[in-house]
Amino acid sequence: MKVSLERQGQNVVQLQMEVEADRAKRAYEGACRQLAHKVNIPGFRKGKAPKNVIEQTLGVEYIKRETLEHLVPEMLNEAIVEQELDVITEPEVNEYKFELGEPLSVSAKFEVRPDVTLGSYEGVSVTVPQAKLDDEQIDKVVEQLAESKATLSEIAPHAIAMNDIAVLDFDCYDDGKAIEGGHAEGLVLEIKEGNFFDGFCEQLIGAKPGDKLDVSVTFPKDYRNKQLAGKDVVFKVEIKGLRERIIPEINDELARTIGQETLAKLKDLIRERMESELKEENDSRTHKAVVDAVVANAKVDVPETMVNREVNMLIDQHKHSVEHNGGDWQEYQASKEFETFKNEKTEEAQKRVLTSLVLGAVIKSEKILVTDEELIPYLKDIAGSYNVPVKRVMDNPNVRQKVLEEVLANKVVKFLVEKAKVDFVLEEKKPEKDSEPKAKKVTATAGAQ
């Protein structure tokens, strides 16, 4: 087979292939034999009709197309191996010439992985902020656990102030008409600025249990109930009472409510879990720092087509999430939020593609391979999560390829980290914005919420 190659742009290849007439003829005759077994021709058993009858029945052009369906992939595979091309898109056949008795010529276009010039990648030096665990962090978790066990107790009536907890009944009205589902009884609400609806809590300040009052609210323009979005409504509210949060003491009794014998054992368990999480965090920071350093040392022109495909993939994932949560994708696409999201994902896609290209070059340079033994644990996990036989997962080429890429990426990152010179520095603590317990989100029976 004759092969000629023309490079177009950053990473587009035009491949011209030509096979001798005898090979094209053999492929054509093979297609005739296969078709003879598939079609019913009066007077002939399947597979017994001669070539000329098949040609008269189906037409020569149809048989040619069948021939190309089988022969062109063979030609492409041979040419790609011969030219040592790292193909990243499905080849697109844009021209062919197929006349019986003459050589078959096929032209195809596809993208290949762009060349990467690796800089220093073995033994890169990086500085990594190391997250450390201290007793204060453990104490804070214990405090949060105590807060989660808090109970509400009725207290003496007084004028409502910020940070109080009130019990309310209400009905919501739009232009004097009761809103369907806009009713709540016994709603427990922490009086915080912006809680429930903007401006709602502020209008309760000074009211007392037994008081009835009208609270005016404007629903957000992006409110999930489109009929109410942006509308001015009135809540007719009755204050039913006041509550205070009783947080249990931090002691062995609290630990027992969480399933531990003593407070000391509870703290040990918290420490163990947090240390595990911190190790994962520090490992992740190290991996990122090393990979970023290796990428920074490399040179590569990232093709716009690769970035666009990555952006489209990220957008499709987000579209699925939006629609899964009941959102309107077309409406979201028309919003300013989508433009911001798309810009962020474009930057993310550029970095992902660049990183993938550089790591791929390191894999090639170091001849890093993945064995079947390394794939099996991952494939078993997938089979277990979907409750299907392992063999079914192992025989799925798409799943195998994705797992292979994941394992390969993990191996190359591990290789780079093991070779790197990592200097850990203690991470500076960020100042606490607010040490006060946060108000919990309110869940009401009111459909207007």
- Give the tokens for residue 60: 């020569």
Q: Considering the domain boundaries, does residue 276 fall inside one?
A: yes
Cβ–Cβ contacts within 10 Å for residue 440, how many? 13
Angstrom distance (rounded) from CA 5 to CA 214: 78
Q: Residue 250 burial (CB < 10 Å; 0-12/13-18/19+)?
A: middle
Q: From first to last of its 449 residues, what are the pLDDT tens digits of the chain?
A: 999 999 887 789 999 999 999 999 999 999 999 999 888 888 888 878 888 998 999 999 999 999 999 999 999 999 999 998 989 999 999 999 999 999 999 999 999 999 999 999 999 999 999 989 999 999 999 999 999 999 999 999 999 999 999 999 999 999 899 998 899 999 999 999 999 999 999 999 999 999 999 999 999 887 878 788 889 999 999 999 999 999 999 999 999 999 999 999 999 999 999 999 999 999 999 999 999 999 999 999 999 999 999 999 999 999 999 888 888 899 889 888 999 999 999 999 999 999 999 999 999 999 999 998 899 999 999 999 999 998 898 889 889 888 999 999 999 999 999 999 999 998 776 655 443 333 333 333 333 33
Q: What is the pLDDT of residue 449?
A: 37
SS3 327: coil
User: What is the predicted pLDDT for the residue at 318?
Assistant: 93
pTM over 0.75: no
Residue 189's SS3 state is strand
Q: Which residue(s) pair with 112 in the sheet? A: 87
Q: Which residue is it, tokens 């077994």?
A: 37
Range of the domain at 290: 265-426
310 and 422 part of one domain? yes
The alpha helices in 298-371, defined as continuous H runs, are 304-324, 329-333, 336-366
Among 218, 246, 274, identify where a domain stops.
246
| pLDDT score of 213 | 96
Quick check: is 144 in a domain?
A: no
The total number of structural domains that make up the chain:
3
Q: CB neighbours of 231 closer than 8 A, spacing ≥ 6?
A: 174, 218, 219
Tokens of 127: 């500085």
Q: Which residues pair with residue 151 across a beta bridge?
A: 246
pLDDT attached to residue 432: 52
User: What is the spatial distance between Cα 202 and Cα 216, in angstroms, rounded to a whole number?
Assistant: 11
Residue 223 to residues 184, 249, 252, 414, 441, Cα–Cα distance (Å): 19, 40, 45, 47, 16
Same domain, 280 and 398: yes
pLDDT at 394: 87
Query: Measuring CA to CA, which residue among 413, 311, 312, 318 is closest to residue 352?
Result: 311
* Within a domain: 123: no
Q: Could you tell me the two tokens for 71?
A: 């022969």
Question: In this structure, what CATH number is given to the domain that contains residue 25?
Answer: 3.30.70.1050
> Same structural domain for residues 188 and 290?
no
Is residue 441 assigned to a domain? Answer: no
Same domain, 417 and 337: yes
| Any domain includes 443 | no
